[in-house]
Amino acid sequence: MSRNRTQSSFPLAMRVALFYPFTAGRRSNQVWTTQGRSIHLTSQAYRSSGVNLDEMDTLKERIKAFASATHGPEVLNPEGGFAGLYRLNGFKQPVLVASTDGVGTKTKVAAQLGHYESIGQDLVTLNVNDILARGAKPLFFLDYVSFTTLDQQVMDTLLRGIVWGCREVGCALIGGETAQMPGPDGSDHMELVGFVVGAAEPDGLFDESSMQPGDYLVGFPSSGLHTNGFSLVRSVFNTDENPSVLYRRFEGLQHALGEELLVRHRCYYPMLAPVLNLFKGLSH
C-alpha cells in the first residue's frame, strides 16, 4: 500500500497506527511514501514507532475467541472480511434502532484501581439501555478500543466484561476496532466506545405522544452514577492528584469510594423486556 504525503504535522508513529480492524488477517509489510522518501514498514519499524504488530496479532486472535462466545446462527462468516455479517430473523416488519456511546472518564478510575471488567460490561449496557428506551431488542454490538500501551491482561479483563455484557442481553459481538496510538508525551490513555443495533416491530416502538395526565410513573433504582458525571466527581475529589482517596470509605457509603464509583451500570433490559408492552415510554 502506498500513500503520497508531501506535508504532515503528525509524527510517523501516529500516521502508521490509526486503524487496525480485528477481523482482518495479519498485515504484510507496507510501503509508505512521505516527503519524497519510501519507508518500508516492517514489524520492527512499527515497533520503533510505539506499535507492536506481533502483540496486536495475538490480541486479534484473543478477541475472536472472546467474541465467538456471543455468536449464534445469526452471525455469518465470523472469521472473514472487514465487516460483521448478521442475519435478521424473527421480525415481520423490522425497524432497526441504533445507538453509540462511550464509557467516558470512568475509564480513568478503572485504570487507577486496576479493575476493568465492570467498564467492559458498562460499555454494552449503556448502549443497550439507550435502544431499550425506544422499545428495541438488541441484536449485535461493536466496540472501539484505543490505548497507548498494550497490556494483554488488561485487554483480556476488558473483553471478558464486554462478552458478559453481550451475553446478558443476548447480543452478538460481531466486530470492532482496536487501535494502539502512542502519544507524544508517553502517557497512558484508553478510550472505549460501543455501537449497538437492535430492532423492533413498528407497533412495538414507543410513542410518547400517547402519554397523558393520569398515567402511572414507575421508577426503577439505579446502581449508582452509572457512567455519568465522572469528570465532575474526579474533580471534586481530585483523584488525579490524590488517587488514595479512591480507597477511602466515606460516611454513607458501604464500600470505598473507588468501589462505589465502579459499580456496574445497571442493565434494565432483562427486567423490562418481558413487560415492554405495558409501557408507553421509557426514559433514563
CA 199 to chain CA centroid, Å, is 20
* 23 Cβ neighbours under 8 A, 6+ residues apart: 80, 81, 82, 83, 84, 175
* 47 Cβ neighbours under 8 A, 6+ residues apart: 53
Q: Give the separation between CA 259 and CA 280, rounded to whole angstroms.
A: 35
Are the C-beta atoms of residues 152 and 163 closer than 8 Å to each other?
no
pLDDT band of residue 14 (cuts 50, 70, 90) is very low
pLDDT band of residue 12 (cuts 50, 70, 90) is very low
Q: Give the separation between CA 141 and CA 198, rounded to whole angstroms.
A: 9
CA 73 to chain CA centroid, Å, is 23
Q: Give the separation between CA 23 and CA 78, rounded to whole angstroms.
A: 8
* Run of H or E including 159: helix 152-169
Q: Give the separation between CA 155 and CA 20, rounded to whole angstroms.
A: 15
52-204+218-278 classified as CATH 2.40.30.10: no
Reported as a single tens digit per residue, the pLDDT across 57-116 is 776 777 777 788 888 899 887 776 678 889 999 899 999 999 999 988 888 888 888 888
Are the C-beta atoms of residues 176 and 62 closer than 8 Å to each other?
no
Domain ranges, ordered by start, for the chain: 52-204+218-278
- Predicted pLDDT at 171: 94
Cell 466486530 maps to which residue?
A: 175
